[in-house]
Amino acid sequence: MGAAPSATYSERQNQDLDSSFKAYLKNCKTESKIISQETIRSIQSHLAKGDLPGAHSVISDALKNIDDIPLNIAVTGDSGSGKSSLVNTLRGIGDEGEDAAPVGAKDTTMERKPYKHPKFPSVTIWDLPGFGTPNFQLKGYLDKVKFGEYDLFIIVSASFFTKYDLELAKGIRAMKKNFYLVRTKVDFDLQNEQQFKPTTYEREKVLEEIRNNSLKEFYKNDIELQTFLISNKDSSEFDFSILMDTLLKDLPNQKRNKFMLSLPSITEAAIEKKKESLKQNIWLGAVKDGILATLPMASVFKDNDVEKLQASLHQYRVCFGVDDESLQILAKDLRGHVEELKAIIKSPYLLDTEQDETIGEKLLKFLDGLSSADGGLLATGLYFRQIYLQFHFLDIVANDAKVLLKEAYSRKQLTYH
């Protein structure tokens, strides 16, 4: 018998694509998948049948949906409750930032107003007028502010939730929408307690009292709910990260991904979740691009390959808040210089080249290093070697975000003490 014919490039391509998609599924937690189970089954079916155009179409539609799908979050509460500051925090900007929602004496919302996220324009935070005033009674309020357009609702109070908040919550629940009660300015309450009761002050005890007192109106009606305690001055304190985790859990797959990427990198856990989400985008994009590859990956990078990798690096820096604009804002917030921050991170200089070296040559050096570290697995000539470069960039940028997080915390601690 003659030797079995070797697999054609097309057959090897099918095998690579199928194994890559299986690797994506294996390395992705169920609760954090950015595409639906229905979409996953459809992609698997097309790949199993060798229907690459069908798989490409499904993945392209899924990625476009992830990029374009709108997310609308409504924030409502009385004037002075910190509602507008929360709108700004969710958009990752300060109260004095460009296009910030007005706070303080100017914070009197008379009609709903949309605030686009500066980096993710399909994410909109809506500042709604407070409920329970003569101008805004429950009858007609939900229609007037078009509550049917929002994915979720945050009801904000700086003291305790009133009977009006209770009515509003019931109205939202009747619409089968999720709502969340947020108690702001907790840092001021703690400061006041510590100042006026220095000998009996116990931080955790005061926080528990704030939780219970803020929900008295709900308890009277036998409604048990969680309230999230936050400080708009410092989103790394109190329950802000718990609130964000809860919102993410309650959103559908594609919108969860969009919201995750738009959030500020306030904890290492949040940074890791962003990293996990972006890894999924890389895997799916690699499978989609691999379908169109009719020849094995060349030994040199073409101009469009270099441009794509440069764009990917920039996207990651923006997502994690380590791009040049974000560094300028952080430096100003920390009353330092942007050069000091750049000196402790790597991503701004990642693609800097030596004399007479092209960026393509720099990328090939990265691949050589990654191949050595990976035991030669990257030297197989597979099209998917490029995803390892994207993973490499992503790891560096995510680590930069953690370094900046620690630096900001350290400097703030020195300021407080």
**Does residue 208 sit in helix, strand or coil?**
helix
Q: In the predicted model, is pLDDT for residue 212 greater than 50?
A: yes
- Model pLDDT, residue 135: 61
**Of 3.40.50.300, 3.30.450.40, 3.30.310.50, 1.10.3720.10, which CATH number belongs to 69-262?**
3.40.50.300
- Model pLDDT, residue 129: 82
Structure confidence by residue, pLDDT tens digits, 73-90: 999 988 788 888 899 989
Q: φ and ψ at 82, to 5 degrees?
A: 90, 15
Q: In the predicted model, is pLDDT for residue 245 greater than 60?
A: yes
Q: In the predicted model, is pLDDT for residue 61 greater than 80?
A: yes
Structure confidence by residue, pLDDT tens digits, 108-137: 667 889 999 988 889 999 998 877 655 666
**Domain spans, the chain:** 15-35+264-416, 69-262
- Model pLDDT, residue 349: 92
Please calculate the CA angle 38-44-48 and round it to the nearest 5 degrees: 150
Q: In the predicted model, is pLDDT for residue 267 greater than 70?
A: yes
Query: Model pTM?
Result: 0.80
- C-alpha 49/C-alpha 51 separation (Å) is 5
- C-alpha 9/C-alpha 209 separation (Å) is 68
Rounded to the nearest angstrom, the gap between the alpha carbon of residue 124 and the centroid of all alpha carbons in its chain is: 13
- Model pLDDT, residue 393: 93
Q: φ and ψ at 122, to 5 degrees?
A: -80, -5
